[in-house]
Amino acid sequence: MLAAFSISVLSAQTKVIAHRGYWNCEGSAQNSIASLQKARELHIYGSEFDVWMTSDGVLVVNHDATVEGMRIDDTPYEKLKDIRLKNGEKLPLLEEYLLEGKKDKKTKLILEIKSHNTKDKEDRATAAVVEMVKKTGVKKQTEYIAFSLNVCKELVRLTPKTEIAYLNGDLAPQELKALKISGIDYNLSVLKKNKDWIEKAHQLKMKVNVWTVNKEADMQEMIDAKVDYITTDNPVAARELITKK
Ligand code: MG
């Protein structure tokens, strides 16, 4: 009885996801290959990153829609390929990012597909990402997140057994469950206002992730509320807080 209790407590422990990788340190930059390598060294649950498709179908890793004044989904890769990140790395291709991630299967790849400027582009980007994840052999360690409900629905259709979480914060867990979406990944302010969604999601066997939690008091509040994952720019602080308990 006691053993079973301990196991359930352990499995319920909140885990840490590095937001845009671990970039808040020397030699790193948001969404860089280095940020993935540095997240890996922390032995946390996962490392998050953002994915766009260029106008000619190349998948790249970047947060903003626009780089150096060019909207990624309207620009051919040729015009983007020489762009440098803050740490000197070039704009990563999704393929090289996933192959780097594959070197340590224990670090989950939390792949955000961004909201493209047409439904057609979004559908093509989603299909291409799912193909690339399959081709690079990282399907088992990849989990998807997206603000676009369209992207989430496409993911359910294309890769139904994979973890897929919705980011936009405007739907209750049961509405997403009905669409076969497996988790909520909501802004801190949304979950503070709707704490009952955490329990509701768990009752529905859905996962709960929260972004972007950078203050220790907020981390503690979310740990106490039993979220499954905390997505943070301060993964070291979050990890320390959890292991201290
Ligand atoms: Mg993101």
What is the residue extent of each domain of the chain?
Answer: 10-243
Query: How far is Cα 107 from Cα 229, in angstroms, rounded to an integer?
Result: 13
Quick check: helix, strand or coil at residue 85? Answer: coil
Q: Ligand 1 centroid vs 210 CA: distance in angstroms?
A: 12
Tens of pLDDT along 189-212? 999 999 999 999 999 999 999 999
How much distance in Å is there from the Cα of 63 to the middle of ligand 1?
6
Tell me the CA–centroid distance for residue 218 and ligand 1, in Å.
19
CA atoms of 211 and 192, how far apart (whole Å): 12
**Distance from the alpha carbon of residue 64 to the mean position of ligand 1, in angstroms:** 9
SS3 231: strand
Looking at residue 162, its pLDDT comes to 98
Residue in the block written with tokens 């790193």: 28
CA of 175 to the centre of ligand 1 (A): 22
Which CATH number is 10-243 given? 3.20.20.190
Asked if residue 195 lies in contact with residue 219, where contact means CB atoms within 8 angstroms, the answer is no
pLDDT for position 8? 45
- Pairing verdict, β 108-113 and 70-71: unpaired
Angstrom distance (rounded) from CA 150 to CA 132: 19
Q: Token pair for residue 197?
A: 């969604």
pLDDT tens digits, 101-122: 999 999 999 999 999 999 999 9
Neighbours of ion ligand 1 (CB under 5 A): 50, 112
Dist. CA 9 → ligand 1 center (Å) = 29
* Sequence-distant (≥ 6) Cβ neighbours of residue 98 within 8 angstroms: 109, 132, 133, 136, 138, 142
Q: What is the pLDDT of residues 207-232, one digit of tens each?
A: 999 999 999 999 999 999 999 999 99
